[in-house]
Amino acid sequence: MTAQTLDSLLADGVAGRRVLVRSDLNVPLDGDAVTDDGRIRASLPVLEKLAQAGARVLVAAHLGRPKGAPDPAFSLAPVARRMAELTQVPVQAASDLVGEDARARSEALADGSILLLENVRFDPRETSKDDVQRRELAGELAGLTGQDGAYVGDAFGAVHRRHASVVDITAQLPSYQGDLVRDELQVLHRLTEAPQRPYTVVLGGSKVSDKLAVIESLMTRADTLLIGGGMVYTFLKAQGYGIGQSLVEDDKVETVRGFIQEAERLGCRLILPTDIVMASEFSAEAEHTVLPVEALESGAFGDQALGLDIGPESAQRFAKEIVDSNTVFWNGPMGVFELEPFAHGTAAVARGLTETEGFTVVGGGDSAAAVRSLGFDESGFGHISTGGGASLEYLEGKNLPGIDALTS
C-alpha cells in the first residue's frame, strides 16, 4: 500500500486546519545555541509549504535523550529561536508538550503560523514499551489538532522507533508522508535496488559494532568498501597489526576477520588505510606523525600512540576510488574531524564526493556535520541524508515501524 503524500494533503486543502508534523530537529547545542542547524533547515520546507497554504502547523520533535521528564538542557526553545531566524513564517514555542500552554497556544494559533511543542521525550509515554501508554499520548497529541486535524510524518531519523509521535499517532489522525521521508526512501531504494556501478561505500565513525549489520548487508551489493575512522583499528588488529592505544573493540575482532574473508569470497573489494595519523594524545595540540600501518607502534609514541585519522596516502587512494565511482554512499568520518590536525582524511573523502560525476549520498549526522563544518557547499552532493540510524537500518534490510505506519 502506498502512503498518502504531503501533496495530496495540500490538494485536499489545509487552510484553517491544524496539522501536526513530526519533524527531526535533533540538533547539537552549545548551551542554548544551535551549533549545526542542518536538520532545522532540512525540515523547514515542509513546514513552510503547510503554513503558506494557510495551515496552523504544530511541530513535534525530540532533542537528545532526556529521562522522560522535563530537562532544560534538552529544551527545544533554542531550536524555535533558530527556526524563527531561518523563516518568514511566524514561529512560537510551547513550554510543554500536551499541557496547558500547548493547548492554549494551539487553540489561539493563527492560520499560516508554526507552534513548536516541547521535546516529546519529556513525556515518558513517548518511548514507553506499553502500547496503552503510547496510545494515550498519541491521543493527546491528536487532541491538539481539534476538528479536521491531520498528521505528517517527516522525521526519517525517527522512523525506526516505535514511539507515540511516530507510530501510534497514525491511528489517531489522517496521516501523510512528508517530503523528507519520501526523498530519503527514494534515495535508499536507489542504493539498495538499482545502484549504478561501480558502487563504492565509505564507512567510518568510532565503533565497528554500530556498523556490523550494514557492512554485512552492503558487501553483498557494493563493489568496494572503504573503511576508515575509529572502527578501522578493529580491522587492522584483525589483520595482525599493532595499533597502540587506538580505539578497538576486542570482542569484535573475530567477527571482523570473518567479514574480511567473506568480502573476498563475494568479490567485494575491502580497502583499508595503508597509513595512519598517530598522535601522543587526544588533543588538537598533540604531537602527531604519519606512519604506515605496519609500523603504528614503532614511532616516537610507541605502544601508547593513538590513531586519529587516515594518512595522506590513504586519503588520496580513497578519494580516487570515490571519483572513479558512479554511486557512492558515505557514512562516518575518517578521523577526529573536529580537531584540525585530524580532519584531512574526512575532507579528502568529502572533496572526492563533490568531484565525482556519480550519484553521491552523505549519510549520518556526523558525516553531514563534517561536510558543513569543513566548509563544503551542500549543493555539491547528490543527497545529504537526515536519516541517521534509521537509514542504516533500512540498508540492513530491517522494517521501519514509522514507515509501515504511514502505509498501513
Q: What is the pLDDT of residue 2?
A: 77
Residue 288 marked in a binding site: no
Q: Catalytic: 146?
A: no
- Does residue 75 contact residue 31 with C-beta atoms inside 8 Å? no
Residue 307 marked in a binding site: yes
Alpha carbon separation from 169 to 1, 131, 313 (Å, rounded): 18, 12, 51
Measured distance CA(162)–CA(336) in Å, rounded: 32
- Does residue 225 contact residue 271 with C-beta atoms inside 8 Å? yes
Alpha carbon separation from 65 to 68, 118, 121, 230 (Å, rounded): 8, 14, 7, 24
| Confidence (pTM) | 0.90
User: Which residues are registered as beta bridge partners of 309?
Assistant: 277
Q: Catalytic: 229?
A: no
- Residue whose C-alpha cell is 502505509: 407
Q: What is the pLDDT of residue 368?
A: 86
pLDDT (tens digit per residue) in 1-39: 678 999 999 999 999 999 999 999 999 999 999 999 999
Residue type, 120: V
18, 22, 39, 162: the active-site residue: 39
Q: What is the pLDDT of residue 1?
A: 60
Where is 185: in which H helix or E strand?
helix 179-193
54, 242, 302, 389: the active-site residue: 389
- Write the DSSP assignment of 67-96 as a string of letters: -SS--GGG-SHHHHHHHHHH-SS-EEE-SS
Assigned C-alpha cell, 222: 557494493
Question: Tell me, what DSSP letter sits at residue 170?
Answer: G
Q: What is the pLDDT of residue 307?
A: 96
Q: Catalytic: 389?
A: yes
- The runs of H, that is alpha helices, within 239-381 are 253-266, 312-323, 344-355, 365-373
Measured distance CA(226)–CA(205) in Å, rounded: 12
Q: Catalytic: 99?
A: no
Residue 65 marked in a binding site: yes
Residue 121 marked in a binding site: yes
By the 10 Å C-beta count (0-12 exposed, 13-18 middle, 19+ buried), 399 is classed as exposed
41, 81, 103, 207: the active-site residue: 207
Where is 297: in which H helix or E strand?
none
- Does residue 165 contact residue 293 with C-beta atoms inside 8 Å? no
User: Which residues are registered as beta bridge partners of 225?
Assistant: 201, 270
**CA angle, residues 225, 228, 231, in degrees to nearest 5:** 105
Residue 306 marked in a binding site: no
- Does residue 157 contact residue 119 with C-beta atoms inside 8 Å? no
Q: What is the pLDDT of residue 298?
A: 85
Chain-centroid distance of CA 400 in Å reads 15
| Percent of the chain scoring above 70 in pLDDT | 100
- Write the DSSP assignment of 140-166 as a string of letters: HHHHTT-TT-EEEE--GGGTTS--TTT
Alpha carbon separation from 164 to 7, 123, 249, 386 (Å, rounded): 24, 10, 34, 20
Point out the residues of the chain with pLDDT beneath 70.
Answer: 1, 408
Assigned C-alpha cell, 198: 561501480
Residue 211 marked in a binding site: yes
365, 387, 388, 402: the active-site residue: 365
pLDDT (tens digit per residue) in 254-299: 999 999 999 999 999 999 999 999 999 999 999 999 999 999 998 8
Residue 189, SS3? helix
